[in-house]
């Protein structure tokens, strides 16, 4: 097994045409030293999350080649989807797995940006650990305004791209790349078609919380001239209300550090908040892969006898407690990153 492993999880703004995604991911299959672990297509989001692992240089080469293919295939001028987005190749994060530092992943993101920005005339922002200013650390801050507001955003001196031109590229939009630790993309579905109820729960649990309002429903402005916020219940958590399909709203989340805020913690709290408004949490959904450690932590929480349970039993308890099999079969061998890597390397 490789001793130096990097994960790259590019998000492409195409989730409906499988042939396009097959073309985009083809380089991963033919480049030595990189393995495709997962392709998660979302029709309503019109977005695909691709997960690849391998040695740093091979992963970088694959990310660049996939990007060049995607740039030919995706046109943002006609793109619509539920998920927030600003570009055809929306975000390309590099994540250290084994034997690789976060600083090396920062360098990989910079090399990626340098390789594609001029070729594609593509504005690129560095985010996460690679960010060069405080306002670019958080991906939602970079995406704010989305594709539709990007032209105006690029005209601001505060949003000069880190790589590439400041000119708006109507076909490709803009891309964010950077380095981060393992992020868990996790959603919980509710038995309602009312997105606002999912948004309400999201505002209660996410780190940034919700806007503070007076009795007339107006924003309360602080002494610094900025709106005051009610803090959320959890740290290291991003959350928003989305639609899973036409009849199902969901709380969509990114767990930025599962050691601070775990899957079982957010799931149980969503259940509690849903019950308060007469709803039920009906399914959990992982987008991409999840670290074994995070699943084991949830398994210990949900298992009746965690002290005596083996690893497999704890994983089963987590799948059940998190409702990961409610939407269909959940195969831990392909959804837990360490197990998926072992399967791929056989």
- Residue ending a domain, choose from 118, 146, 179: 179
pLDDT digits (tens, 9 = 90+) for 239-255: 999 999 999 999 999 99
* DSSP notation for 32-53: TTEEEEEEEEETTTTEEEEEEE
Q: SS3 helix, strand, coil % of the chain, rounded to 5?
A: 40, 25, 35
The answer on 110 and 25 residing in a single domain is yes
The answer on 247 and 283 residing in a single domain is yes
Strand, coil or helix: what is 97? strand
Domain count, the chain: 2
The answer on 199 and 306 residing in a single domain is yes
What's the pLDDT score for residue 131? 97
The answer on 171 and 29 residing in a single domain is yes
User: Which residues, in sequence order, are CB contacts of 243 under 8 Å at separation 6+?
Assistant: 44, 82, 193, 195, 249, 250
What's the pLDDT score for residue 1? 47
For residue 11, list its beta bridge partners.
49, 91
Report how far Cα 246 is from the mean position of its chain's Cα atoms: 22
- Residue ending a domain, choose from 148, 179, 210: 179
What's the pLDDT score for residue 2? 52
- Residue ending a domain, choose from 129, 153, 179: 179
The answer on 175 and 32 residing in a single domain is yes
The catalytic residue positions are 83
Q: What is the CATH number of the domain that holds 209?
A: 3.30.70.670
What's the pLDDT score for residue 120? 97
The answer on 154 and 209 residing in a single domain is no
The answer on 194 and 91 residing in a single domain is no
- Given a contact cutoff of 8 angstroms between Cβ atoms, the answer to whether 289 and 336 are in contact is yes
The answer on 282 and 229 residing in a single domain is yes
Q: Is the pTM of this model over 0.85?
A: no
Q: What is the CATH number of the domain that holds 66?
A: 3.30.990.10
315: containing domain: 184-345
Closest CA to 30 of 58, 1, 5: 58
The answer on 196 and 322 residing in a single domain is yes
The CA distance from 284 to 291, in Å, is: 16
What's the pLDDT score for residue 342? 81
The answer on 132 and 73 residing in a single domain is yes
The answer on 122 and 201 residing in a single domain is no
The CA distance from 27 to 19, in Å, is: 14
What are the per-10-residue average pLDDT scores of the chain (346 residues)?
82 96 97 92 93 95 98 96 94 92 97 97 97 94 96 95 97 97 94 97 95 84 85 96 95 94 98 98 93 95 97 98 95 90 77
The answer on 188 and 175 residing in a single domain is no
């Amino acid at each position: 097994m490789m001793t130096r492993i990097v994960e790259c999880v590019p998000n492409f703004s195409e989730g409906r045409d499988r042939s396009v995604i097959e073309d985009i991911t083809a380089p991963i299959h033919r480049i030595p030293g990189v393995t495709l672990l997962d392709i998660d297509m979302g029709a309503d989001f019109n977005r695909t999350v691709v997960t690849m692992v391998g040695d740093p240089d091979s992963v970088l080469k694959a990310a660049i080649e996939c990007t060049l293919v995607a740039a030919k295939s995706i046109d943002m001028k006609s793109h619509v989807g539920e998920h927030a987005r600003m570009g055809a190749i929306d975000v390309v994060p590099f994540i250290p797995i084994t034997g690789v530092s976060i600083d090396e992943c920062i360098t990989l993101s910079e090399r990626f940006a340098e390789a594609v920005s001029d070729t594609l005339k593509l504005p690129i922002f560095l985010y996460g650990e690679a960010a060069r200013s405080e306002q670019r650390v958080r991906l939602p801050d970079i995406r704010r305004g989305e594709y539709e507001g990007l032209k105006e955003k690029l005209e601001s001196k505060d949003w000069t791209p880190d790589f590439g031109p400041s000119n708006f590229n109507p076909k490709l939009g803009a891309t964010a790349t950077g380095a981060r630790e393992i992020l868990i993309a996790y959603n919980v579905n509710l038995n309602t078609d009312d997105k606002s109820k999912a948004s309400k729960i999201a505002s209660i649990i996410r780190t940034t919380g919700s806007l503070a309002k007076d009795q007339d429903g107006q924003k309360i402005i602080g002494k610094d001239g900025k709106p005051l916020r009610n803090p959320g219940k959890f740290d290291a958590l991003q959350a928003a209300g989305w639609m899973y399909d036409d009849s199902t709203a969901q709380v969509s989340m990114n767990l930025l550090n599962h050691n601070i805020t775990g899957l079982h913690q957010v799931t149980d709290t969503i259940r509690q908040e849903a019950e308060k408004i007469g709803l039920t949490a009906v399914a959990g959904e992982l987008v991409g892969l999840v670290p074994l450690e995070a699943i084991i932590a949830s398994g210990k929480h949900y298992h009746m006898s965690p002290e005596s349970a083996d690893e497999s039993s704890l994983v089963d308890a987590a799948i059940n407690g998190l409702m990961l099999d409610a939407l269909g079969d959940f195969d831990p061998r392909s959804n837990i990153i360490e197990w998926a890597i072992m399967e791929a390397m056989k």
